Amino acid sequence: MKKFTRMLGTLGIVFAMALGVGVCSSDALAIDRIVLKDGSVIEGTIVREAQGAVWIKTTIGGVPAERMYLPSEFTSIERNAATAPAEATRPATGGDVPVVPAVPAVTTPAAPRSGVPRGVVITLGDREHGDMVGVYMVANILERAIPVIEQEIGTDGTGVVVLRFMSGGGYGAEVQKISDVIHNEYKKRWRTVGWIDSAISAAAMSAHCLEEIYFTTRGNYGACTGFYGSLDKPVEGFELEKSLHQMEKISARGGYDYRIMRSMQIMDPLSATIDANGEVHYFADTVSGDIIVNRNTEILTFNAVSAAKVKFSRGTADTLDELSKAMGFQEIQWVGKTVKGSLWPISRAEQMQMDFRKKVKTDEDNLNRYYANYAIHVQLAAGAPREERPPLVNRARQGLEQIKSMVRNNPAFARNIWGGREEYKEWLEEQEKLLRDLMR
């Protein structure tokens, strides 16, 4: 018993986040398959349908269960799927392969108009679900969207990807990863621009490799000072120098004077002069330039007006039409479904981002429950006679599967909770062994 408790305790962290859909095992008799929007596939027997909702008998962790899904929760139903090849839709179960969200179901794309470039808007963070860098804004989901975007706007170099930023910052550890995906993958394939609604701290640092940045009227960008969660704990010393150096390199990617980001990180003054050719020259004080960009004792955050004044922003746009014009397009085909209340069409790649954040939000809200469910049943099994353990271990396994599903959806959880991918794997192996031991 002590051993099990100790092994559970090795997690050694407070779960303050959450999860969503458990991975369902295949039933030998399964003939129907429901592909959920988050990519999970539920196999079993459909027993009822009403108003578009379906009820399916399946097994979860070896326990028979009946589940109901609303039409808004699944992308497709495969009936009598046992006779059809299954691999294409089967969720990956390996620890390294992300399974959710899957690429949303293919809809017939609008026919490309000859000679007209196509574009998509991809959101990074939203008000409803979350915006934290390293939790809701992660490199991994941007990377997974690449083949979908390729399918939607082509690979001939004429496509446009608008990255709409809405984030108050987050984990600095994610900045380099996001910057790398944008710089090494997106920018090489498409004209990639930033559309800043709010990019604070790590979000601004993530966007800073973009040469072409537009603001919304209320946009803000900056305040990149690193700190460790508390107002009295700034990033200092070697770590600070490393961060400043990192951002100098990322500034070069975006073609920005390194002093701009520096003033966003530390209290360096900054002024600027625009010469007769329209070139902007920066000075690390408040007196050499004509325009004071950052005061002596402050940290820089741009707004739409101040960013445009020193040409950091290429323009201000609140609608897609205004953005298209600011980008110089006479005509551009924005790909995706028109959705009421959305200022841009929702492409499949964008739907992926939205689904991802929705699941992460569910994960954050429920992680404590999943972990508690796991831990309690391990403890119960450990205290029960051998013959009474199987159902308890099955319950524990369900909890563990939920945690695994969470990390598959968003590998950043492994870093944020366990301290790293390896640490997570190690913990997982311990738990798997523990469950096996309980069944001996």
Interacting residues toward another protein by CB under 8 A:
16, 18, 50-51, 53, 66-70, 73, 127, 168, 198, 200-201, 216-225, 227, 230-234, 266-267, 297-306, 318-319, 340-343, 365-366, 368-369, 372-373, 376, 379-380, 383-384, 387-388, 391-392
The CB-of-416 to another protein minimum distance in angstroms stands at 14
SS3 177: helix
Look at residues 134, 180, 327, 175 and name the one whose alpha carbon lies nearest to residue 264.
175
The CB-of-191 to another protein minimum distance in angstroms stands at 25
The CB-of-204 to another protein minimum distance in angstroms stands at 10
CB of 199 closer than 8 Å to CB of 221: yes
The CB-of-171 to another protein minimum distance in angstroms stands at 15
CB of 327 closer than 8 Å to CB of 193: yes
Residue number with CB closer to another protein (109 or 391) = 391
* Contact partners, residue 9, CB within 8 Å, separation at least 6: none
The residues facing 178 across adjacent strands are: none
Residue number with CB closer to another protein (53 or 82) = 53
Residue number with CB closer to another protein (142 or 213) = 213
Residue number with CB closer to another protein (236 or 285) = 236
Residue number with CB closer to another protein (177 or 389) = 389
**Residues 35, 302: Cα–Cα separation, whole Å:** 44
Distances in Å between the alpha carbon of 5 and those of 234, 317, 376, 403? Answer: 36, 56, 10, 18
225 C-beta neighbours (distance < 10 Å), count: 16
Residue number with CB closer to another protein (331 or 387) = 387
Q: For residue 240, give both structure tokens.
A: 């600070």
Rg (CA), the chain: 25
The CB-of-247 to another protein minimum distance in angstroms stands at 14
Residue number with CB closer to another protein (182 or 223) = 223
Handedness of CA 183, 186, 187, 188 (dihedral sign): positive
User: In degrees to the nearest 10, what's the CA dihedral of 301, 304, 306, 308?
Assistant: 130
The residues facing 270 across adjacent strands are: 294
The CB-of-50 to another protein minimum distance in angstroms stands at 7
Distances in Å between the alpha carbon of 123 and those of 97, 129, 130, 352? Answer: 23, 12, 11, 10
The CB-of-114 to another protein minimum distance in angstroms stands at 30
Residue number with CB closer to another protein (159 or 345) = 345
The CB-of-355 to another protein minimum distance in angstroms stands at 17
The CB-of-256 to another protein minimum distance in angstroms stands at 18
Phi-psi region of 154 (alpha: psi -120 to 50; beta: other; left: phi over 0): left
Residue number with CB closer to another protein (68 or 105) = 68
In 110-181, alpha helices (H):
139-144, 146-153, 175-180
